[in-house]
Amino acid sequence: MKQGTIKNFFGNS
- Number of residues near other proteins (by CB under 8 A): 13
Instruction: Convert residues 1-13 into a mask of x (bound to other proteins by CB under 8 A) and - (unbound).
Output: xxxxxxxxxxxxx
Provide the minimum distance between the beta carbon of 8 and other proteins in the complex, in angstroms, as a whole number: 6
User: 3-state DSSP call for residue 8?
Assistant: helix
Provide the minimum distance between the beta carbon of 12 and other proteins in the complex, in angstroms, as a whole number: 6
For the CA atoms of 7, 11, 12, 13, what is the dihedral angle to 10 degrees? -140
d(CA 13, CA 2) in angstroms, rounded, equals 25
Judged by the rule CB under 8 A, the positions of this chain that interact with other proteins are 1-13
